[in-house]
Copies of this chain bind each other. A is one copy, B any other.
Amino acid sequence: MRRWNGWGDATTVVELPAQGAGFLAARVGVGRVLPDATLETALARVPASRLAAHGLYSVDVQDRLLHARGQSLPDWLALREGSLGRYPDAVAFPQSAEHIRQLLALAHDQDLCLIPYGGGTSVAGHINPPSSTRPVLTVSLAHMSRLLDLDEQSLLATFGPGATGPQVESQLRARGYTLGHFPQSWELSTLGGWVASRSSGQQSLRYGRIEQLFAGGTLETFSGPLEIASFPASAAGPDLREVVMGSEGRFGIISEVKVRISALPADERFYGVFLPNWEQALQAIRQLAQARVPLSMLRLSNAVETETQLALAGHPQQIAWLEKYLAFRGAGSGKCLLTFGVTGNRRQNALSLSQARQHLKAFGGVFTGTLLGNKWAQNRFRFPYLRENLWNAGYVVDTLETATDWSNVDNLLNRIETSLRDGLAAEGERVHVFTHLSHVYGEGSSIYTTYVFRPAEDYPATLARWQALKHAASQVIVENNGTISHQHGVGRDHAPYLLREKGELVLDTLQALSRHFDPAGRLNPGTLLQE
């Protein structure tokens, strides 16, 4: 069963190894455990709904609790404390586009706010009820998850918007295909959510971001269904797909998604290489991306992330031997782990591997075969589970991410890390910070930073610590030519930083679109665009 106050299935547990806790204690101090509320306590705190019972939705208290928050750190703290503050007044589970249209009509007639809800995995406050005098109706798309159409000649598949990663892949794999979209949230997040928030998967280097995969579909709006026909490419004016993508529920509710799929690859492998230091590693990965070697993923951890990963991996004896070998080959302290993958046919993969190895060797890369690559592949969706046991050990972990041009990657990365590392200095608290680059492009790279700190004496003070860190890093991002999000979207948490990133005229244009689709402001208000 899914955890009500944490990530994923309750039977999946990612242990923090014994030496892991020691590693963290040495870096940020001994952990502090805050008390968790029980589900019963949390349920007891849900206020009465402002909506009367209705056949189109549920006013059940547990439904309302379970759809009140996503997976951001503030969401986590609220759930562990059992105090969520605001809750939807009802949750609807439409089974068809027609149901969604009825809900839109209801929202119009009864002046409700609507919040579209996919997998509830937002880490930016997309689905949190706003403070509003209007009753809030959350629309879960969980019952619209079927494969509706498959065009095997054109490699196009049409799904309901609520299909989760496993639902997408299992329905496609049965026919010999894959979407190839694997964000870390894949187990729970949904196709409609990926489109609405411009998601990116771990193998975007081969399959593309959701922008390349989303071929068309339907957005249910107050004026009726906005249908976007699929073309392989078109020069017929501005591309409305790109208005639907990233709209985060502000313009309508996605009822159908057509995606570009691929035949299942014949061969896929992942490899680990250690680079002797960050400077060489950064150059290596940039040039590898720009050389267009057909790889399917590239992930470069900086020195602290590499050290942390090895410390938290368990198996200290094996790691010690590995580190001895690496040091002997020139990758000692300061070494950076690069993981990369090849996906496709065997001949192409063999050449891609050979070209990547040759390329990395020139930068002092020490190739370690598939061991660490396979480890990455096995654990690719497990990182979010770690928050649970870090929390139980007395630590808070969160991540944030951006993207910028190559000429700015090192500068921005350092500024972000510094802003976090020093972010709690006034309280005398240390923050453990590390980073990887995991989506690389010819023009630049994503920057994905993880930070670990200790809870304060209670929940409000812990939230205040997070707010200080998040604000400092977000400000650094938008003031230094980063985007406020490469893959998580804007939601309510990033909305305050959008003006600095995009400027007034861009925001005016988005506001004009919002007014066009939703003049009364009933659709997910506060998300994407501040109220």
Binding site for B on A (CB under 8 A): 151, 153-156, 197-200, 209, 211, 215, 221, 223-248, 260, 262-263, 286, 290-294, 344-345, 347-348, 351, 355, 403-408, 439-446, 481-490, 494, 498, 501-503, 505-506, 508-510, 512-513, 516-517, 528
Contact = CB atoms under 8 A, between A and B. Distances in A.
Nearest to A152: B407
Contact of A235 (B347, B487, B502): B487
A235 B198 contact: yes
Given A262-B442, A443-B154, A513-B513, A236 B485 contact: yes
B243 A509 contact: yes
Given A154-B408, A232-B442, A263-B290, 6 more contacts: A154-B443, A209-B233, A229-B502, A235-B489, A291-B345, A345-B355
A219 B252 CA distance: 28
A226 B241 CA distance: 21
Given A240-B509, A248-B237, A232 B154 contact: no
A502 B443 contact: no
Question: Which residue, A225, A229, A355, A487, has most C-beta atoms of chain B within 10 A?
Answer: A229
Contacts of A262: 290, 442
Contact of A405 (B230, B293, B498): B230
Contacts of A245: 238-239
22 contacts: A151-B407, A153-B406, A155-B290, A199-B235, A215-B443, A224-B505, A229-B483, A230-B443, A231-B486, A232-B405, A232-B442, A233-B441, A235-B483, A235-B490, A236-B498, A237-B248, A237-B528, A239-B245, A243-B509, A291-B345, A292-B294, A512-B513
Given A351-B348, A443-B154, A198 B488 contact: no
Contacts of A291: 345
Nearest to A515: B512
Contacts of A246: 235-239
Contacts of A239: 211, 242, 245-246
A441 B155 CA distance: 10
A438 to B, nearest CB: 12
B405 A154 contact: yes
Contacts of A405: 151, 153-154, 156, 230-232
Nearest to A124: B235
Contacts of A226: 503, 505-506, 509
Given A230-B443, A235-B200, A238-B246, A223 B505 contact: yes
B485 A235 contact: yes
Nearest to A199: B235
A113 to B, nearest CB: 19
B294 A490 contact: no
A502 B348 contact: no
Nearest to A497: B236
A153 B286 contact: yes
Of the candidates A242, A263, A501, the one having the most CB atoms from chain B within 10 angstroms of its own CB is A242
A214 to B, nearest CB: 11
Nearest to A262: B442
Contact of A481 (B229, B502, B516): B229
A371 to B, nearest CB: 27
A348 B151 CA distance: 31
B484 A236 contact: yes
Given A154-B443, A237-B498, A355-B348, A403 B229 contact: no
Contacts of A517: 509
Q: Which 3 A-B pairs have the closest CB atoms?
A: A242-B242, A232-B444, A198-B235
B351 A240 contact: no
A156 B405 CA distance: 9
A229 B508 contact: no
A488 B348 contact: no
Contacts of A404: 231-232
Q: Which of A239, A245, A286, A440 has the most CB of B within 10 A?
A: A239
A487 B510 CA distance: 27
Of A233, A503, A509, most buried by chain B (CB within 10 Å of CB) is A233
A302 B114 CA distance: 52
Contacts of A481: 229
A486 B154 contact: no
B237 A510 contact: yes
B485 A233 contact: no
A237 B290 CA distance: 26
A292 to B, nearest CB: 7
A163 to B, nearest CB: 19
Nearest to A348: B351
A498 B155 CA distance: 26
A154 B444 contact: yes
